[in-house]
């Protein structure tokens, strides 16, 4: 579903991604790496939100821009201008299409997406008045709204409570079973460890790519996070760095 070959990206000469190559099947892919390791940059390139500088990216065999309409996107919450006076319904509808007038079907579908995450009661609320966790649920619903072929989520569990997180994982699992491809940037892999097929461990370079069993070992994690990573815990044949989904930066 996603082929990334020799992709590099710099912001004004500052390298964010360096020669990244991986090829992900029809899968639930998790992207992990420390703050500033290029995760969001990679996702934006995959969606055609940033212009490619070097290398090649194919999504469902197409260029990122051609495939864009097939992807539902949940941006990192920090990236949303939270002060803009916009209603929840408008945010979710925007996930279906950017247009001025929405059909009855569009509105029904947007309501369904909120309902899927138990948040239909927020329909008329102002986005800025919601708690962080509620905002995350709304952004999650927006990513589901157009019944996309692929859902890309940038730190979906950041600031959400345990019940909300469990609900999100349950919905993702269902979507996965229905054949939707899923890409999720996460800091804490544990909540989805048993759902994911592949992990990309990133620190500007692709440190490792493969199944959780292949990727999650001490050596790879130290390469990605450095030797001063808080703690690496190994159990059931997997290792993971002990970091939450809270943002350090």
Ligand X SMILES: Nc1ncnc2c1ncn2[C@@H]1O[C@H](COP(=O)(O)OP(=O)(O)OP(=O)(O)O)[C@@H](O)[C@H]1O
To ligand X, the closest distance from the beta carbon of 127 in angstroms equals 21
Residues in contact with ligand X, total (CB under 6 A)?
12
Q: Which residues pair with 17 in a beta bridge?
A: 9
Residues in the chain: 249
At 103, list the tokens.
Answer: 């059909």
Regarding 188 and contact with ligand X (CB under 6 A), the answer is no
To Mg ion, the closest distance from the beta carbon of 60 in angstroms equals 23
Q: Which of 24, 40, 136, 188 binds ligand X (CB under 6 A)?
A: 40
Of the candidates 19, 37, 5, 9, which has an alpha carbon nearest to the alpha carbon of residue 186?
37
Q: Which of 4, 24, 30, 38 binds ligand X (CB under 6 A)?
A: 38
Q: Which is nearer to ligand X, 110 or 207 (CB)?
A: 207
CA separation for the pair 134, 194 (Å, rounded): 25
Regarding 180 and contact with ligand X (CB under 6 A), the answer is no
Q: What angle do CA 75, 166, 108 make, to 5 degrees?
A: 60
Q: Which is nearer to ligand X, 85 or 249 (CB)?
A: 249
> What SS3 state is found at 12?
coil
48 interacts with, out of Mg ion, ligand X, none, CB within 5 to 8 A per kind: none
CA separation for the pair 106, 108 (Å, rounded): 5
At 183, list the tokens.
Answer: 């890409």
Q: Which of 24, 32, 33, 148 binds ligand X (CB under 6 A)?
A: 33
Question: Which residues of the chain form contacts with Mg ion (CB under 5 A)?
Answer: 39-40, 76
Q: In what order do the strands lie in the sheet containing 2-11?
A: 14-24, 2-11, 54-59
Which string of x and - marks every residue 49-78 that binds ligand X (by CB under 6 A)?
Answer: ---------------------------x--
Which residues are near ligand X by CB under 6 A? 11, 16, 33, 35-41, 76, 249
């Amino acid at each position: 579903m996603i082929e990334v070959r020799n992709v590099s990206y710099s912001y004004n000469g500052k390298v964010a991604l360096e020669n990244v190559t991986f090829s992900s099947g029809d899968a639930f892919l998790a992207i992990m790496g420390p703050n500033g390791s290029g995760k969001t940059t990679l996702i934006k390139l995959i969606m055609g939100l940033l212009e490619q500088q070097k290398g090649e990216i194919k999504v469902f065999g197409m260029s990122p821009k051609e495939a864009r309409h097939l992807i539902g996107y949940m941006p990192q919450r920090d990236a949303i201008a939270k002060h803009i006076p916009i209603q929840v319904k408008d945010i979710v509808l925007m996930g279906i299409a950017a247009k001025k007038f929405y059909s009855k079907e569009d509105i029904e579908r947007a309501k369904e997406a909120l309902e899927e995450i138990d948040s239909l009661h927020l329909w008329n609320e102002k986005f800025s008045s919601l708690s962080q966790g509620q905002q995350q649920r709304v952004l999650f619903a927006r990513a589901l709204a157009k019944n996309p072929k692929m859902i890309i989520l940038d730190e979906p569990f950041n600031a959400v409570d345990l019940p909300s997180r469990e609900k999100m994982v349950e919905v993702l699992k269902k979507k996965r079973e229905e054949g939707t491809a899923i890409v999720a940037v996460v800091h804490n892999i544990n909540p989805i460890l048993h759902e994911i097929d592949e992990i990309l461990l990133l620190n500007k370079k692709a440190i490792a790519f493969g199944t959780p069993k292949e990727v999650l070992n001490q050596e790879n994690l130290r390469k990605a996070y450095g030797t001063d990573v808080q703690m690496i815990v190994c159990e059931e044949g997997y290792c993971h760095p002990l970091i939450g989904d809270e943002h350090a930066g």
